[in-house]
Amino acid sequence: TTEIINMQKFKIKQIIGISTWNYINMIDRCAICRNSLNEPSIDYQSNMTFYNTHPVVAINDTNFIAFGKCGHTFHIDCIEKWLYENQKCPLCARIWFYDKINKLK
C-alpha cells in the first residue's frame, strides 16, 4: 500500500538580494579595437614609436577612455577615429555625445 506523508507547505515571505556592481568591469573592452579598456588601444600599441616621438598626441589622444551619454565606452583614440566619419555611436547608432572622459590608470 502507498502511504502518503503529510508534509507542511512553506511560503517565502521575503527575499533580500545582495550584490555588487562595477561599471568598468561590466564593460571591460573597447568595442572598436576589442582591447581591454584598462590598457591602451591596439592602434596605440602598434604605433608605439609614433606616439613616443609625438608626446602631445600621446597625452591628448591615447591614454583616456571616453564614456558616451548612451552608456557605451571606448578608447578615446578609437572613438575619435570613428566619429571622424560617423557621428553616431558604433553600438547603438545614437548621436554621440561625450558624458565624461577618464584617464587610463
Say if 83 falls within a structural domain: yes
pLDDT in tens, 33-42: 998 888 888 8
Say if 36 falls within a structural domain: yes
Say if 22 falls within a structural domain: no
Say if 97 falls within a structural domain: yes
Instruction: Give the mean model confidence (pLDDT) for residues 35-56.
Output: 68
Run of H or E including 35? none
pLDDT score of 14: 82
- Closest C-alpha among 59, 70, 57, 58 to residue 99: 70
Say if 53 falls within a structural domain: yes
pLDDT in tens, 63-102: 788 999 999 999 988 999 999 899 999 999 999 999 999 8
Say if 5 falls within a structural domain: no
Q: Total domain count for the chain?
A: 1
Q: What CATH number corresponds to the domain at position 74?
A: 3.30.40.10
What per-residue string of b and e applies to 65-102 under the rule 16 or more CB within 10 Å gives b? bbbbebebbbbbbbbebbbeeeeebbeeeeebeeeeee
Q: How many CB atoms lie within 10 A of CB 37?
A: 20
What's the predicted TM-score (pTM) here? 0.61
Q: Tell me the C-alpha distance between 40 and 82, whole Å.
A: 16
Say if 33 falls within a structural domain: yes
pLDDT score of 54: 44
Say if 17 falls within a structural domain: no
Domain that holds residue 54: 29-103
Please report, as a single letter, which amino acid is at residue 76: I
